[in-house]
Structure 1
Amino acid sequence: MIAGSETQRVVLLHGLSRTRRSVARLEASLREAGYDVINWDYPSRRHSIAELVVLFRALCADLAKEPKPTHFVGHSLGGLIIRAGLIEPVRFPLGRLVLIASPNRGVSILRRFEEVPLLADLPRLFGRPVLELGRDAAWFQQLGLPQAEIGVIAGTRGFHPLNPSSWFNTLLGNPQPHDGTVELDSAMLPGMTDFLSLDVAHTFICDDERVIAAVKRFLATGGFAG
């Protein structure tokens, strides 16, 4: 058990088109470390990002009924929701944040889809938020940083057979280091406290034991080294 973890809470947010099961291994490991864990299963496909942030703020209001120190960990879209939702103050002690493979500058492959007529409508299959996640979309420039220590974990394995976007990145070509979906430089975040890149792919990054260990180190110490 991590010292002091029994008095702390961790909220997990899965990524786009996934469910809480996609971060179940991370959840179990955090529980074993003594944290009170909430694995939030939000409807990622049906709403715009702004609407998902409203739902997240409602969750934060519920958390304030038991105002214990609370950390947040988000995979991909989940990390963006955390960023946007925690700009406004919360009524509980805000702990550390970990963003795992979050596209902080958007996703380049979406722009490539627009260049290929037969693929132009394909992103819609992934859910409403994907339409807002194009590389360097204007709203990314307006998205600030919560007042908290932020750790960023990114992957560099460009292909995984169960990740559709990694097929397209391979077939259409992407010269930048990426995890199959998100480019390495997009995951990086100005003002972040610490950064870690690993040879893992986007879809199942939260199952990787090195990632799980790194999340626990950052929540406990504010850094990935150790």
Structure 2
Amino acid sequence: MEPQKQQDIGRNERVILIHGLSGNRWVLWPLNRFLTRQHYCPMRWCYRSVLNGVMNHAERLRAFLEREADSPEPLHFVTHSMGGIILRAVLADMDWQRPGRLVMLAPPNHGSRVAQLASRSLHYLCPALSDISTSPDSLVHRLPVVQSLDTGVIAGTQDLLVHLDSTHITNQIDHVLVPCGHNRILRHPESLDEISYFLRNGRFTEGARRVVSAASPSGVVV
């Protein structure tokens, strides 16, 4: 790539990074550093994932995004796991018109069987587990898709927390796989390259691995 073109990759566009359940700002650090080197302006939005449900976190994020909704400048999002569900919960109630793209990493769009099992004993400590479970009445099954953002999904082939079929969402523009597990996807080289490519182009690379898979309502974990 020519030096001048490389300088223009991110065009200083802003990217909001949102971690998943039990995450923190430090798990987002490799992604933050990578996007900064790609000339984006990333910002890590963090929350205490225990003791609160998804809608509690969504209220905080909504208060932040309401100040951002009217700008004509692009604003992108990269979410990990439950972070994508929180963003869906926020944008479901907002008239979001700001241009931008969304990359969801290992999102439990149809719930997680592991979360369902854990919620039986840890619900009071972490209500969010019930929100992202595979139970038919869980929050994740009641949320609409995010229509206002071009959405791409990256799933891990070795993810033992969120089944591949559960990561799909009906409005996705593209869906690709990387050879890693649930948390490694935040810093895997292939994942980082695909994130950057989608933010620039609205699709993943031609050489990325893809499978045709229907979204599973059960989201059974292998």
In the superposition, the TM-score normalised over structure 1's length comes to: 0.79
Q: What is the identity, as a one-letter code, of the residue corresponding to 2:16?
A: V
Give deviations 1:99-146, integer Å, cap 9, x for gaps.
Answer: 1001000011344458xxxxx415666x33112221153333321122
Matched, 1:54 2:59: yes
1: distance between equivalents of 2:43 and 2:70?
14
Residue equivalent to 2:38: 33
TM-superposed CA distance for 1:67, in Å, is: 5.3
- C-alpha separation in 2, matches of 1:69 and 1:188: 24
Return 5+ residue gaps in structure 2 as ranges: 1-5, 207-222
Residues 1:145 and 2:145 aligned together: yes
Please list the CA deviations of residues 62-120 of structure 1 after superposition, one character each: whole Å capped at 9, or x if unmatched: 335865210011000111111221232236x2300011001000011344458xxxxx4
- CA–CA distance in 2 between the matches of 1:67 and 1:60? 14
Contact 2:178 2:185 survives alignment (8 Å): no
SS of residue matched to 2:67: helix
Pairwise mapping of residues 51-90 of structure 1 onto structure 2 (< 5 A)?
A: 51-64=56-69, 68-87=73-92, 88-90=94-96
Alignment-derived partner of residue 198 in structure 2: 218
User: Residue 181 of structure 1 aligns with which residue?
Assistant: 161
Q: Give identity over the alignment, percent.
A: 30
The 8 Å contact of residues 106 and 137 in structure 1, kept in 2 or not, is answered as no
How far did 1:6 drift? 2.9
CA contact (8 A) 1:60 1:90 kept: no
Counterpart for residue 127 of structure 2: 128
- Opposite residue 195 of structure 1, the aligned amino acid is H
Answer with 67-76 or 2-11: which moved more: 2-11
User: What is the aligned length?
Assistant: 198
Q: Which residue of 2 aligns with 1:154?
A: 155
Instruction: Compare 141-150 and 50-59 and name the one that shifted more.
Output: 141-150
- Structure 1: runs of 5+ lacking an equivalent: 115-119, 158-178
Distance 1:112 1:47, change over 3 A: closer
Return the TM-score normalized by structure 2. Answer: 0.81
Tell me which of 155, 169, 188 is aligned to 1:208: 188
Look up the equivalent residue of 2:165 and give its one-letter code.
D
Report SS of the residue matched to 1:121: helix
C-alpha distance 185-29 of structure 1, shift in aligned 2 (>3 A)? same
1:30-64 C-alpha deviation (Å, 9 max, x unpaired): 11111111111222223211111111111102335
Contact 2:82 2:132 in 1 (8 A): no
User: How many Å apart are 1:4 and its aligned residue?
Assistant: 6.2
Q: Is the 8 A contact 1:124 1:131 kept in 2?
A: no
Structure in which a larger fraction of residues adopt helix: 1
Aligned AA (2:145) = L
AA aligned opposite 2:172: M
For the Cα contact (< 8 Å) 1:14–1:75, is it kept in 2? yes
